[in-house]
Amino acid sequence: MKLQLTHLRLLVSNYKETFLFYRDLLGLKVDWGDEETGYAEFNTGSIQLAVFKKEFMAQVIPSINQPSSFASQDKTSLIFAVDNVDEVYQRLKDHNGILMAPPTDRPDWGIRTAHFRDPDGNLIEIYTNLGILS
């Protein structure tokens, strides 16, 4: 049996704002859907990033017996390689993005990172290699 990861799907409360964030602010190419469809797929170069209205998924998998949401540490993070962390971070700042951590060199990791959230609260890391690890 072969499993191949093809999509990461974010189940979001604010579909339109989240769609526009990934399309317009992060500049991901839309492979399917638009700001009104409730589902869209973005081309990331290796796997598809999809956003899907939570209500639509609830029609398929009812969550009656699931625990209610509560504040906790993040359980996932989307990680994107970029050419220039500082430029992307400044673009997010200029557009009132939800900034979490400014561009920071992380020599132990061999990368420069910055962290922010999409409109639905999903944690995102952007990074570029520092060229110090082999």
One-character DSSP codes across 32-95: E--TTSSEEEEE-SSSEEEEEEHHHHHHHS--TTSPPP-----S-EEEEE-S-HHHHHHHHHHT
For residue 11, list its beta bridge partners: 52
Strand, helix or coil for residue 8 = strand
What is the rounded CA–CA span in Å between residue 46 and residue 96?
28
* Residue 128 near residue 80, CB atoms below 8 Å: no
pLDDT tens-place string over residues 50-109? 999 888 877 767 654 555 555 567 778 899 999 999 999 999 999 999 999 999 999 988
pLDDT tens-place string over residues 25-43? 999 999 999 999 999 999 9
Neighbours of 81 (CB within 10 A): 13
Q: How confident is the model at residue 120 (pLDDT cuts 50, 70, 90)?
A: very high
Q: Tell me the domains of the chain and their CATH numbers.
A: 7-63 (3.10.180.10), 75-134 (3.30.720.110)
Q: How confident is the model at residue 3 (pLDDT cuts 50, 70, 90)?
A: low
pTM metric for this prediction: 0.80
129 exposure class (CB count in 10 Å sphere: 0-12, 13-18, 19+): exposed
